Structure 1
């Protein structure tokens, strides 16, 4: 019996050793594939930091980030206004990218272990990448897998024919002629926000008609209400739980190292994420079922999704359900969060540059008599548009354009091997002094007085909504929503910097104010 147990122990040990050896072999094999890609890029004159065995440049990235973080902590008591004088946060949020850019230029290669990456901010190549129409270039598969609980296979993460089909279906719903028909609902969603701030001033005012308000939270509620009403035919109160759970899910995924190449979750985290994913899908489907049995004739996005799957006989029932749920999650997440954050940054910068508030008020008074904003008056608000464009240049919520070559492809004069991931850092492009001039780090909306094409040397380097085929389908929707909320807020309130505000942009899949945006709101 003792010999039997000894033999079983030996067999078990051999099995474990075999499994570990197999894992090591697979990992090393994948690492060598990455090295072969790296050598192909280097032969074309592309340099980059030398990788270490198996881990690539991950140790360097973490070391550089740690050094910068310690410096930031030591300077944490700096005055926020001084920090706002220079809006370049790339050296603090993405210090490794900036460190290597200064050393290797606008195009370089680096590794995160098994994956080889190509960093590109050269304007001509950026244009080639974004206007490339081949389906052999798409969203990185490992990032799509990591973010699958959040986006599923919706339009934001899909590739190939699936993406092309979804874009063909969804994009027309956000054409300008459709968005104009949404203006009244957007204005309607703004009213509770304005009323709430007026009540806060009355209740908490200091005698001068001023109250301190954490505006980012209220703007999040406003943007969520717009998405709920315009796209899905219900108020924010019905979708509130969905938005809350999506934010919790985003935080759980983001804490796993979004940029450092880790795509697996621990058992406990995996259970939490799976449960949240199921709860969100269940809540969305409840709203879908309600819409199915309702007699509403409103042709909104929910109606479109239902009609699309109803009219396509080739789609199975399971696929139809997942298609609707995934795209609802995409719109809830991207449509609500990015607009709310952009509105928050806009109010913050207007607080520190009050002369632009004065210009906006004069413009609204000129084109919107009695403060009545409508679809025809919005295109006339040029100052509001310039301010939004400049805010999106300095504080674009989306900061990374990422692609993966699914086959060997040619981009400009570069041959990109299959499997290489391409990264473009938007805030770096938006602050390039060669493109934007020596005042690239300053808040100057007037640079956009003649449009994007005249604001810089290379307009393709302005990409707050992406570029080319993957241009955000909701661009018109977001710009209209931002115009409305800023025009109505600035026409009714004076925005003043609060001593409570601490300037600390943070990357959590999007760039957002880490500690929120506290501002003093004064009724005019």
Structure 2
């Protein structure tokens, strides 16, 4: 059914457009062409309308309703302001953080997104800014966030720029699509992550975690009972093994090339790009774009090879990949070929299903290593619940403190930085008439560290704040959004929480761990917020 043809979507479409232009011009004689001056005027007029006039009309509609924000420049919007603020404020904030006794109790937004902190102080909880031609309504107002969470209509969806700027990684998968196609994708994928099915994956999670911890035990034994190890890559491989086996019927070893290429693609897309938001920039044959196109082509082929083999498999085992393959044959696929339906959704699951979970596990270990009292308390709970037995599904609800640690880690270091939505039609939100095409963005780390929602010391690691659940920790509770909000809440959150509980429980029952003196605390934004220079831990066998 599926036939692969080597591709680089952006490259191919650009080549086709240029070819058509050449054919068109070659069939005309110069006397019949518009004079060059008129061509230049037409081009300038088009660019002015697209890059300035249309966005400015949108901005004016919001300004007339009292929405403020920094004034944008032509073509680049507020990107120059972002660079300037980052240079000016990040240095002073980092110097201030360097004088604190606990670098973990500082808000990393000051170094990664200082302009968001600055503009929030200047313009309040709702303001407008631009990245190129993309207009963004930044929202931290709790009433508007609640309306976004409760919105049911399909006229509010995922931003169209995600398919353009991040199309190589997400394509038209569940993370980027809207309308009937998204509804179909959700029906196909979400049931595979219901808690009943996730509980049935605990044994394979145990197998993957035990294989990882056995290698750690061997290294510790070789080093005489204590060893320093960089654990983040191990965690990434563990999580990749789980999502591969649970969802695609293959081990990490088989899917290793896919995960490696997706990681390379993630790093390439996260690399600073001067032209982000500028229309057409993704078609330019820059070194970054060429790397992205090549990786996209390779990943497409690898995933399709697995899908072809799976379609020939007559075992009848029902898992996520089979559901995706079957879903490609039905549903509203007029804007998405069956081949792309399979590849794009697999890429979404490969990325979201392992990168975010492994990053959260790494932050959990860093925070527990930094706070040995909490580490000891959580270990005592694990030993009391498990009594030295393998973790099984019935034990998970009893691991209250483990859950609190995960929740607090997700509060301080949520892997996703923004909840993003686009008004696909004009809508009224929080008393504001939001024009069609406006992007709304909730900065999750900013919301998760706001003292008006979390009380005093919101930057401090304190799992005890979740002792009475999310409602007891956050007022109002809908401002805790590590997995997003509303109808588009992460479909895989059950898998992520169970996976984190399993790996933390096993690790705590076998090791004591502390941060290495070589650890450097520098959170970095690479599509997710991850430890910028890795996670070196000193492990000691219990």
TM-score, normalising length from structure 1? 0.92
Displacement of 1:9: 11
> Partners of 2:333 and 2:62 in 1: how far apart?
41
Displacement of 1:164: 1.1
> Partners of 2:422 and 2:274 in 1: how far apart?
16
Query: Equivalences for 1:277-356 in 2 at 5 Å?
Result: 277-310=296-329, 312=330, 319-356=337-374
Residues 200 and 71 from structure 1, CA distance in 2 versus in 1: closer, same or farther, beyond 3 angstroms? Answer: farther
Does the 8 A contact of 1:80 with 1:503 survive in 2?
A: no
Residues 257 and 81 from structure 1, CA distance in 2 versus in 1: closer, same or farther, beyond 3 angstroms? Answer: farther
Residues 14 and 70 from structure 1, CA distance in 2 versus in 1: closer, same or farther, beyond 3 angstroms? Answer: farther
Displacement of 1:12: 10
1:142 corresponds in structure 2 to 161
Does 54-63 or 447-456 show the bigger shift?
54-63
> Partners of 2:100 and 2:260 in 1: how far apart?
30
Q: State yes or no: 1:22 paired with 2:42.
A: yes
Does the 8 A contact of 2:416 with 2:528 survive in 1?
A: yes
Does the 8 A contact of 2:184 with 2:331 survive in 1?
A: no
1:3 corresponds in structure 2 to none
2:204 corresponds in structure 1 to 185
Question: 1:183-225: per-residue Cα shift (whole Å, max 9, x none)?
Answer: 111111111110111111122x2x4x11111111100000000
1:408 corresponds in structure 2 to 426
Displacement of 1:13: 11
Residues 398 and 483 from structure 1, CA distance in 2 versus in 1: closer, same or farther, beyond 3 angstroms? Answer: same
Over the aligned positions, Cα root-mean-square deviation in angstroms equals 2.4
Displacement of 1:93: 0.8
> Partners of 2:124 and 2:218 in 1: how far apart?
53
2:468 corresponds in structure 1 to 450
Displacement of 1:461: 0.7
Displacement of 1:19: 4.7
Question: 1:121-158: per-residue Cα shift (whole Å, max 9, x none)?
Answer: 01110121232112111111122211111111010011
Displacement of 1:22: 3.2
Q: State yes or no: 1:519 paired with 2:540.
A: no
Residues 370 and 260 from structure 1, CA distance in 2 versus in 1: closer, same or farther, beyond 3 angstroms? Answer: same
Q: State yes or no: 1:60 paired with 2:81.
A: yes
Please, which runs of 5 or more residues in structure 1 have no aligned partner? 1-7
Number of residue pairs matched by the alignment: 510
> Partners of 2:272 and 2:117 in 1: how far apart?
23
> Partners of 1:163 and 1:486 in 2: how far apart?
34
Please, which runs of 5 or more residues in structure 2 have no aligned partner? 1-28
Displacement of 1:58: 2.1
Q: State yes or no: 1:157 paired with 2:176.
A: yes
Displacement of 1:118: 0.8
1:255 corresponds in structure 2 to 271
Residues 75 and 313 from structure 1, CA distance in 2 versus in 1: closer, same or farther, beyond 3 angstroms? Answer: closer
Does 232-241 or 130-139 show the bigger shift?
130-139
| SS of corresponding position for 1:376 | helix
TM-score, normalising length from structure 2? 0.89
> Partners of 1:419 and 1:491 in 2: how far apart?
51
1:82 to 102, 120, 136: 102
Does the 8 A contact of 2:76 with 2:277 survive in 1?
A: no
> Partners of 1:95 and 1:314 in 2: how far apart?
42
Does 447-456 or 342-351 show the bigger shift?
447-456
1:489 corresponds in structure 2 to 507
Residues 51 and 10 from structure 1, CA distance in 2 versus in 1: closer, same or farther, beyond 3 angstroms? Answer: farther
